[in-house]
Amino acid sequence: MSTDTVAVLIEHRDGAVTPPSLEALTLARSLGTPIALWLGDAPAADAVARLGEYGASEVRVVGIGDDARLPAKAAAAIAAATEDAPVLVVISTFVTKEIATRLAVLNGAGVVVDAAGASRVDGRIETFQTVFAATWNVRTRIDAERAIVGVRPNTTQASPAENPGDATVTQVEVALPQTRERLVSVEPVEQGEGVPLAEAPVVVSGGRGTNGDYTLIEEFAAVLGGAVGASRDATDEGWISHEHMVGQTGTTVTPALYVACGISGAVHHRGGMQASGTIVAINMDPDAPIFEISDFGVVGSLFDVIPQAIETIKAHRGE
C-alpha cells in the first residue's frame, strides 16, 4: 500500500465532473497523491482530462449503475477498488455518509463527515469542521490506519494542479455482494437550471415573508449566479418543493454568500446555513434572530429591497 495514495470518489452528472469533485481533488493533493474513483459508465475524454488537470494520476472506473445507490453495494465496490489507498475523500452528502459508514465497517477506517478541510499532521489525517450550527470549531484526528473524509462543498477553493499530467483510465472489475435492500423505483428530481443547492456558491432563500411569491427570489438568485433556497415554513406551506429546504433536516449549505429574504432565522434554519461565508438578511422585523448572525442586514420589505438591489447591481455591471 502506497502510504500517500488518496482516492477521491468523483461525483458526476450527465457525464460531467461536478465542481465539488474538483474541490475534493484539490484537497486530496494536499494530503498525498490523488487517484480518481468513478462509479458508472466510463468517463468521456474531456472528463478524464479535467480530472488530470486537477491532479488525478489515474481514473479507476467501476461499472456499476443504479446499484451504486445502495450503500452496501457502493461501499463494497469502493473497498475493492481502493485497497491500496489509505485515505479516501468523498463529498459529504446523505448518500456518501452512508457509503462511508458501510465502508468503514468493512475496512476499519476512521471517518469524519461534513468536514470543512483536512490536513496531514505527523502522518495522521486531521480534519476541521464546524458543529452546533456553526457555533463551534472542532479539529479531529483520525487515529485508525485508514481514513475517510467527507468534505462539504464550497469549503476548499478548487485550483488546477501545478504540474498536471495525463490521467490513465483503468477499468476495475469488482464482485458486488448480494444485499437485502432492493431498489423498487428511482424517480429523478427535475434539476432546474443552474447549480444544485448543496454546491451553489451563492444561495438566495425565501421564507414566510415571500407570502409564497418566489419571483423576486428567483430573479435575485439568477443575477447573483446562485440557487434558490427556502425555509421550513415555506416548504410546509407548499409554496416551494422540499428539495429547496435549507436547514438541519433539509440541505445544509455553505456558500460564499447566503441571502435570507423574509426568513426569521429559527434555530433549525440557522443550523443549515450558519457556516456560510457572508450572510445577508432582509426582514421586516428588526428583532428577527437572523440579524444576529448576518454580516449585513436590511430591515425592510424584500419586495422593495430586492428590486432596488438588482437594479443597482445591473447598473454597476453596465447592463
Partner 1 sequence: MRILVTVKHVPDLQSNRSFTDGTVTRTAEDGSMNELDEHAVEAALQLVEEAGEGEVYALTLGGPDAVSAVRKALQLGAHHAIHVSDEAVAGSDVFGTAMVIGAAVRKVHAEAPLDMVITGMAALDGLTSMFPTALAAELDWSQLTLASAVSVADGEATIERHLPDAHETVTAPLPAVVSVTDEANKPRYPNFKLIMAARKAEVPVWTLADLGIDPALVGGGAARATVVDASERPPRENRRQVTDKGEGGRELAEFLIEKGLA
Q: Which of 82, 114, 155, 204 binds partner 1 (CB under 8 A)?
A: 114
Residue 251 touches partner 1, criterion: CB under 8 A: yes
Decide if residue 22 touches partner 1 (CB under 8 A): no
Applying CB under 8 A, the span of 45-53, 81-89, 109-117, 203-211 interacting with partner 1 comes to 109-117
Q: Does 280 bind partner 1 (CB under 8 A)?
A: yes
Distance, in Å, from the CA atom of 309 to the CA atom of 222, rounded to the nearest integer, reads 13
Residue 58 and residue 165 in contact, taking contact as beta carbons nearer than 8 Å: no
- Smallest gap from Cβ 53 to partner 1, in A, equals 25
Pairing of strands 147-151, 168-172: unpaired
Task: Please identify, among the stretches 19-27, 39-47, 79-87, 177-185, the one whose residues bind partner 1 according to the rule CB under 8 A.
Answer: 177-185
Shortest Å distance, C-beta 295 to partner 1: 6
CA gap 129, 144 in Å, rounded: 19
Q: Which amino acid is at 289?
A: P
**Shortest separation between residue 281's beta carbon and partner 1, angstroms:** 9
Among 41, 139, 192, 215, binds partner 1 (CB under 8 A): 139
Around 234, how many Cα atoms within 13 Å sit in the side-chain half-sphere?
A: 33
Q: Is position 134 an interface residue for partner 1 (rule: CB under 8 A)?
A: yes
Number of residues that bind partner 1 (CB under 8 A): 90
Is 86:95 a contact under the CB 8 Å cutoff?
A: no
Q: Which of residues 210-229 bind partner 1 (CB under 8 A)?
A: 223-224
Determine the Cα–Cα distance for residues 299 and 286; give it in Å rounded to an integer: 6
Q: Which residue has the cell 432582509?
A: 282
